[in-house]
């Protein structure tokens, strides 16, 4: 047990995710570098910018008091889309971009309409991805339904910045407290209100009425809603109802409701939001500004990107001769220029060894002739040393000589070598405002490359020996403008080792969201293969239909005429050589039309650097617009510098590393370290006759249906209903590949099974119910090592007092589990036991928790706490009281089973 707690404490300190690169910093109590980006699809509206400014200004004062004078918003950048007219007050962005903004202003999520929400799927205390506001939320009066916009922003900021969770629960809005009262799920319990059914309609007339109890659960019926009193005295909590006038604080240890079955208690082990906030890195060494009552007003900068500017900075030093690196670099760079870079972009190229040379100043990509002008200058002979700084400076020069600003421009830096002088140009890189994406090719690439990416908010990649690693890296470096319809989508990415004179077959599904600008590319290592490609209608393309590159860089491509047919494409490849050779197959495409949102897969690691024995979490997000795609197969391939690969199936089951079930975020712990150095991540998502449907958005500002005032219920306008055919749509078969970049591992011991240092995973979905005189339990099996393998045994304890399990699990009553054999991680476990008859009385409540064990004596954290209440059936049931108190006598009279899960 002691060993387990030490490991868990260590993990909690190290699992600090770097899920996306935010520029926000907290300096002298003021937040700087906040980016609010407007989607290119939003029509131009000056009022939108004005309301954003007013919202942030209001939020800053509210935040200042909510954090007890510790923090406010100092400066904010508003990124105006390129689709809006240019104005003199719009400045050129530096490294600000839509895809890394802290706040997105975009069209609504299909099911949740204008509800503000935060995409947040890390662990407790982990930063979120972004806040999503809709134009309608920012432009219309939402005061009664959400409260002032500034307060809503602070609610969402707490999700985004400090990793706290909501204190309500729309799926379980009521629970039975330890005092046997029905309580609304909230924090704090000092917030008062009434429980009502609003707008129950029959025959054209609608009424309001008090809630009735559900005869099965003894909680209120499903239509029951907690209606807060308009007049309140409670000051907490912002994570429950920030719209109430009296609410100006977060729940503290003193006011926190540990019983409420909400996500904050589940994810943060019943800690208060204020405790989690004060534990964040923002407030570790920050003193309150006690000398002032109000913070300075925020300042705003309006930014607008121009056309995309990219310069390739490619290594052609002597070491690039090894393992065909120069050939592979040229193959991937050509594919990027022809298939990935968006039309209309400005592209230049620099090559370097001991010195650097501008091969092409910026050229606008319009047609085939323009990209051929660039590919014609790809280097053919490697020689010389490695001066990365010379390459970068020449890249800056290529951009500025074309009358473009380096600020906001991008450099793709690829190298396999080391340069001990690289730090000498770091300051110049910082001043340039350029975004640098780095591709480390091979195990000897300079260890400072990642520093360049991190300081400029660029992507970082590592590629081993096969060409696909490079192709995957280049394919991920797409536009950051937010215009998804322009971005390339990778449908296939495979490396095939084919014996001499043998055929190999494969299939690629093309779904109805894509098909424009589709390419099928094959590369080889020795000799050109024979190719047969067939579309779903039976039309065949053979080798003679493909175009071979004039520079003889061992690649051949076919651009599918028009829009690629929807359905399954098949291909056959024959190795014409007598020896085995590696062939790669790549298929890329774009959205079928500007109005069709393609299915997109993105992937990343929870942290860019891992220090053993810290695990990392692999994340893959599969979406169509803001619609999560559920029920598909998602696989991660992780490769180290020696070429050792680990394949990991990712899950969206709400267990282990996965925070929320069925939200389109697939995740898994990675612990199979094989040495120190760089690791690359690649994800493959594929669907076979599944559906895309919307799931509950967990982290959002609560929509208030109405208020109680002077004995009357004053309802707000109801939320618009979403039709079932919108909330759930059938999906075609599809396939997506995505690179998740690279991460670095250190301090791994040289030999041994390193994963055994990790304990079994925590069980987070334990559920309990009475069936007769027995309690039935169910949960998702953890692994022997976090969420991998099979635990050795389980320890189940129960008590009549929830605090016994929360604070002293080892002393609660132990249940005999000798016949319970754990299943493989991810499986559904079921177990039942019979409490001692002497302990079962009318209305007896049992609290149950569980630990997974790996011998010898290595245990998981204690699970969530499940609650089951037993009622003895009455002989003559009576009509229930409509009050909220359930006495022991009335519980016995109603004689039914209560099932509640406490997180």
> 528 pLDDT exceeds 80?
yes
Distances in Å between the Cα of 545 and the Cα atoms of 539, 548, 561 are: 12, 10, 11
Rounded Cα–Cα distance for residues 405 and 664 (Å):
38
CA atoms within 13 A on the CB side of 506: 20
Q: CA dist 414 to 106, 314, 465, 569, 779, Å?
A: 34, 5, 14, 33, 47
pLDDT tens, 25-61? 999 999 999 999 999 999 999 999 999 999 999 999 9
Q: Name residues whose C-beta falls within 8 Å of residue 648's C-beta, 6 or more positions apart in sequence.
A: 618, 635, 636, 637, 638, 668, 670
What pLDDT is attached to residue 889? 29
Residue-wise pLDDT for 584-633, tens only, equals 999 999 999 988 889 999 999 998 898 888 889 999 999 888 888 888 99
How far apart CA 826 and CA 78 sit, in angstroms, is 43
Asked if pLDDT for residue 579 goes beyond 50, the answer is yes
Percent of the chain predicted with pLDDT > 70 = 89
The percent helix, strand, coil of the chain (3-state, each to 5) is: 20, 35, 45
Nearest alpha-carbon partner for 261 in 349, 344, 169, 367: 169
Q: Given a cut of 80, is residue 875 above it in pLDDT? A: no
Predicted pLDDT at 199: 78
The fold of the 307-481 domain, in CATH, is Rossmann fold (3.40.50)
Write out pLDDT tens, residues 258-273.
989 999 998 898 999 9
Q: Rounded mean pLDDT of the chain?
A: 87
Give burial (CB, 10 Å; 0-12/13-18/19+) of 830: exposed
Q: pLDDT-derived band of residue 876, with 50, 70 and 90 as boundaries?
A: very low
Segment 63-110, tens digit of pLDDT: 999 999 999 999 999 999 999 999 999 999 988 999 899 999 998 766
Q: What average pLDDT does this structure show over 498-507?
A: 96
Helices 149-162 and 46-66 pack at an angle, to 10 degrees, of 70
Helix (H, G, I), strand (E, B) or coil at 482: coil
Q: How confident is the model at residue 9 (pLDDT cuts 50, 70, 90)?
A: very low
Going by pLDDT thresholds of 50, 70 and 90, the confidence category of residue 903 is very low
Show me where the domains of the chain are located: 25-166+280-304, 307-481, 767-870
Provide the pLDDT confidence category of residue 660 given band limits of 50, 70 and 90.
confident
Q: Is the pLDDT of residue 784 over 90?
A: yes
Of 242, 239, 244, the C-alpha closest to 228 is 244
CATH architecture observed for domain 767-870:
Sandwich (2.60)
pLDDT value at 385 more than 60 = yes
Q: Residue 898 in contact with residue 833, Cβ under 8 Å? A: no
pLDDT at 3: 37
Closest among 657, 610, 622, 866 to 761, alpha carbons compared:
657
**Each residue's pLDDT tens digit, 97-106:** 998 999 999 9
Given a contact cutoff of 8 angstroms between Cβ atoms, the answer to whether 706 and 644 are in contact is no
Q: Tell me what pLDDT residue 485 has.
A: 80
Q: Among all residues, which ones are annotated catalytic?
A: 156
User: What does the pLDDT look like over 414-472, one tens digit per residue?
Assistant: 999 999 999 999 999 999 999 999 999 999 999 999 999 999 999 999 998 878 899 99
How confident is residue 752, by pLDDT bands cut at 50, 70 and 90?
low
Residue-wise pLDDT tens digits, 691-710:
555 444 455 678 788 899 98
Model pLDDT, residue 183: 93
What is the pLDDT averaged over residues 651-665? 90
- Structure confidence at residue 882 (pLDDT): 34
* Mean pLDDT for the stretch of residues 823-844: 83
Amino acid 483: pLDDT: 80
- The answer to whether the beta carbons of residues 800 and 847 sit under 8 Å apart is yes
Radius of gyration of the chain (CA): 29
H-helix or E-strand spanning residue 680:
strand 677-687
Q: Give the pLDDT score at 898.
A: 32
| Of 553 and 740, the one with more pLDDT | 740
Q: Which tops the pLDDT comparison, 178 or 373?
A: 373
Kindly tell me if the per-residue pLDDT of 321 is higher than 60: yes
Is the pLDDT confidence value at 11 over 60?
no
Site of tokens 């949960």:
779
pLDDT of residue 631: 87
Q: Identify the CA nearest to 51 among candidates 109, 116, 137.
A: 137
- Identify the sign of the CA torsion 377, 380, 382, 383: negative
| Contact (Cβ atoms closer than 8 angstroms) between residue 795 and residue 814 | yes
> What are the tokens at 662?
């069925």
Cis peptide, bond prior to residue 237, ω within 30 of zero: yes
* Distance (Å, whole) CA 93 – CA 79: 8
| Residues whose CB is less than 8 angstroms from the CB of residue 737 and which lie 6 or more positions away in sequence, other chains included | 472, 475, 490, 491, 492, 493, 601, 682, 683, 684
Is the pLDDT score of 6 beyond 60? no
């Amino acid at each position: 047990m002691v060993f387990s707690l030490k490991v868990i404490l260590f993990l909690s300190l190290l699992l600090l995710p770097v899920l996306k690169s935010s520029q926000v910093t907290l300096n002298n109590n003021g937040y700087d570098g906040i980016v609010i980006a407007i989607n290119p699809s939003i029509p131009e509206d000056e009022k939108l910018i004005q309301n954003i400014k007013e919202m942030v200004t209001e939020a800053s004062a509210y935040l200042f008091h909510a954090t007890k004078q510790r923090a406010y918003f100092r400066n904010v950048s508003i990124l105006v889309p390129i689709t809006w007219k240019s104005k003199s007050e719009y400045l050129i962005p530096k490294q600000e971009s839509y895809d890394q903004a802290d706040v997105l202003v975009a069209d609504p999520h299909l099911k949740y309409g204008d509800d503000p929400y935060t995409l947040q799927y890390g662990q407790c205390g982990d930063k979120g991805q972004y806040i999503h506001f809709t134009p309608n939320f920012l432009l219309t009066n939402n005061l009664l339904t959400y409260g002032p916009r500034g307060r809503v922003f602070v609610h969402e900021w707490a999700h985004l910045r400090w990793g706290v969770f909501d204190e309500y629960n729309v799926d379980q809005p009521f629970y039975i407290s330890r005092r046997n009262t029905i309580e609304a799920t909230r924090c704090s319990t000092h917030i008062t209100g009434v429980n009502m059914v609003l707008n129950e309609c029959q025959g054209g007339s609608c009424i309001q009425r008090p809630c009735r109890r559900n005869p099965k659960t003894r909680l209120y019926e499903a239509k029951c809603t907690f209606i807060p009193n308009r007049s309140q005295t409670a000051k907490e909590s912002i994570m429950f109802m920030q719209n109430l006038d009296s609410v100006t604080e977060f729940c503290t240890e003193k006011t926190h409701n540990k019983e409420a079955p909400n996500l904050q208690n589940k994810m943060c082990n019943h800690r208060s939001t204020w405790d989690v906030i004060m534990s964040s890195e923002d407030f570790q060494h920050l003193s309150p500004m006690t000398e002032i009552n109000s913070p300075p007003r925020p300042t705003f900068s309006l930014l607008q990107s121009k056309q995309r500017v990219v310069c390739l900075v490619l290594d052609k030093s002597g070491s690039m001769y090894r393992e065909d690196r120069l050939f592979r670099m040229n193959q991937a760079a050509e594919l990027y220029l022809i298939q990935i870079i968006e039309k209309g972009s400005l592209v230049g190229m620099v090559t370097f060894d001991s010195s650097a040379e501008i091969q092409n100043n910026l050229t606008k990509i319009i047609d085939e002739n323009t990209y051929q002008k660039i590919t014609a200058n790809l280097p053919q002979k490697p020689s010389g040393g490695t001066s990365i700084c010379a390459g970068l400076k020449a890249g800056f020069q290529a951009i500025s000589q074309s009358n473009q600003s380096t600020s906001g421009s991008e450099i793709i830096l690829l190298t396999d070598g080391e340069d001990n002088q690289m730090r000498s140009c770091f300051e110049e890189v910082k001043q340039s405002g350029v975004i640098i994406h780095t591709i480390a090719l091979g195990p000897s690439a300079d260890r400072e490359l990642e520093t360049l990416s991190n300081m400029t908010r660029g992507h970082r990649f590592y590629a081993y020996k096969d060409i696909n690693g490079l192709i995957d890296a280049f394919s991920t470096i797409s536009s950051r403008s937010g215009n998804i319809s322009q971005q390339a989508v990778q449908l296939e990415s495979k490396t095939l080792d084919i014996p001499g004179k043998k055929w190999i077959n494969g299939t690629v599904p093309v779904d109805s969201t894509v098909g424009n600008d589709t390419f099928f590319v094959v590369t080889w290592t020795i000799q050109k293969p024979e190719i047969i490609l067939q579309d779903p209608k039976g039309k065949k393309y053979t080798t003679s239909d493909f175009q071979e590159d004039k520079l003889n860089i061992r690649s051949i491509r076919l651009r599918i005429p028009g829009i690629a047919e929807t359905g399954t494409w098949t291909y056959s490849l024959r190795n014409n050589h007598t020896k085995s050779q590696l062939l790669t197959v790549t298929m890329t495409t774009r959205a079928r039309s500007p109005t069709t949102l393609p299915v997109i897969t993105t992937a990343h690691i929870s942290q860019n650097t891992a220090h053993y024995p810290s695990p990392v979490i692999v994340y893959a997000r599969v979406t169509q617009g803001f619609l999560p795609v559920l029920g598909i197969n998602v696989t991660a391939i992780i490769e180290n510098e020696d070429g050792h690969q680990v394949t990991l199936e990712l899950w969206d089951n709400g267990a282990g590393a996965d925070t929320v079930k069925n939200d389109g975020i697939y995740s898994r712990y990675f612990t199979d370290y094989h040495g120190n150095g760089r690791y690359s991540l690649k994800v493959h998502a594929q669907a076979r006759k599944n559906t895309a449907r919307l799931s509950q958005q967990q982290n959002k500002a609560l929509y208030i249906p109405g208020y109680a005032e002077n004995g009357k219920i004053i309802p707000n306008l109801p939320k618009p209903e979403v039709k079932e055919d919108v909330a759930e749509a059938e999906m075609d078969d599809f396939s997506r590949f995505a690179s998740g970049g690279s991460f670095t591992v250190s301090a791994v011991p040289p030999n041994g099974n390193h994963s055994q240092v990790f304990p079994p995973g925590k069980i987070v979905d334990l559920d309990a119910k009475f069936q007769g005189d027995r309690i039935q339990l169910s949960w998702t099996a953890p692994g022997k090592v976090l969420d991998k393998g099979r635990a050795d045994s389980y320890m189940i304890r129960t008590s009549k007092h929830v605090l016994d399990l929360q604070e002293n699990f080892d002393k609660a009553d132990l249940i005999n589990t000798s016949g319970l054999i754990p299943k493989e991680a991810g499986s559904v476990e079921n177990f039942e036991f019979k409490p001692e008859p002497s302990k079962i009385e009318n209305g007896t409540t049992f609290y149950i928790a569980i630990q997974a064990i790996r011998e010898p004596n290595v245990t998981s954290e204690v699970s969530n706490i499940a609650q089951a209440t037993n009622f003895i059936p009455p002989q003559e049931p009576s009509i229930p009281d409509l009050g909220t108190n359930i006495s022991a006598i009335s519980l016995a009279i109603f004689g039914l089973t209560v099932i509640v899960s406490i997180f």
